[in-house]
Structure 1
């Protein structure tokens, strides 16, 4: 085992060149020529996300939550998830969360609490996520985007938690959010 003498927050990577490989309204892919931490030349690809990921765990007074089902193009399979989406990096994440909850479920909430921030896949992307709980729910009409074909399910929270534990839910934002909510509920730190 080799112990580093370098301060843990100093960047051990050297960038010697970079080129944009791909760019669209949502992502940018850059390839970097680098000198890696061991001093050897190499390449590194980075996907930059132009939006911040947003996740919401809506909870009603009876401890039900809402899942959104949709076919995920990238996975070629159906996925059950908490309401989630994206918001521009210069937009307040709470405003994005309120919009996403209304769009996908038709719900509005009187109370919002930020419970988690996380990087989603820090080995290849800089995607950053903010997760909220939403309580004091009121039902309105959903306003999905034209690219979304959604199914909404209202389910007791404990059943959704079991779906995470059984591997029925695999979306990373949803898994992290529901595990965090379970912990907060066990510590009586969520007011319904």
Structure 2
């Protein structure tokens, strides 16, 4: 199968969080075109879980002009890629003050693969120890709180949690056999 070929690439814009790149391309049928790509570093999303409740953070999200509840998540500074577990550990501590003894990988997410190169890793953090948050300047309005599983599901249903990565992460959590509370059985028999 023939894929799109990149003929040339140029940086249009850069800041400490992202790069906008524009590529000259050739499509499989031979026609020329351009493709714009938002280049962002990998991120980690952490689901702090104490066995009964999930830890969420609420913050103002400037692009949509609203405060939103979501799971702690973020990238390394200055567009750097970092070890996913170390990044998860850092984001959890920074945004919530929590520490965890275990970071179970639940899966990987592509944020918006039609326009961005950013990928993220989802971790379930358990063995939680409380501590003081060490938030970045941009996170000064952030707050954190614990919510039951029923509360999280209601927040998703009603749009209180609308962050796509947080909803996808919760779906990955639910796909774990032990998340349903039902015994694991062989469905093929």
Give distance in 1, aligned partners of 2:29 and 2:153. Answer: 42
Describe how 1:1-192 pairs up with structure 2 within 5 A. 6=1, 10=2, 12-49=3-40, 51-61=41-51, 63-87=52-76, 89-148=80-139, 149-184=141-176, 185-186=179-180
Query: In the alignment, is the contact (CA less than 8 A) between 1:46 and 1:124 conserved in 2?
Result: yes
Three-state SS of the structure 2 residue aligned to 1:31 is: strand
Give distance in 2, aligned partners of 1:168 and 1:113. Answer: 26
Q: CA deviation at 1:105?
A: 0.9
For 2:186, the equivalent position in structure 1 comes to: none
Q: CA deviation at 1:187?
A: 6.2
Give distance in 1, aligned partners of 2:164 and 2:43. Answer: 11
For 1:3, the equivalent position in structure 2 comes to: none
- Give structure 1 stretches of 5+ with no counterpart: 1-5
- Give structure 2 stretches of 5+ with no counterpart: 184-189
Tell me how large the CA RMSD over aligned residues is: 1.8
Give distance in 1, aligned partners of 2:165 and 2:64. Answer: 15
Cα deviation per residue 1:68-104 (whole Å; 9 max; x = unaligned)? Answer: 0000112111111001111365421111111111111
Using the size of structure 2 for normalisation, the TM-score is 0.87
Q: Detail structure 1 runs of 4+ shifted over 6 Å in the superposition.
A: none
Three-state SS of the structure 1 residue aligned to 2:175 is: helix
Give distance in 1, aligned partners of 2:160 and 2:138. Answer: 24
Which structure is higher in helix share? 2
Give distance in 2, aligned partners of 1:19 and 1:60. Answer: 47
Number of residue pairs aligned between Structure 1 and Structure 2: 178
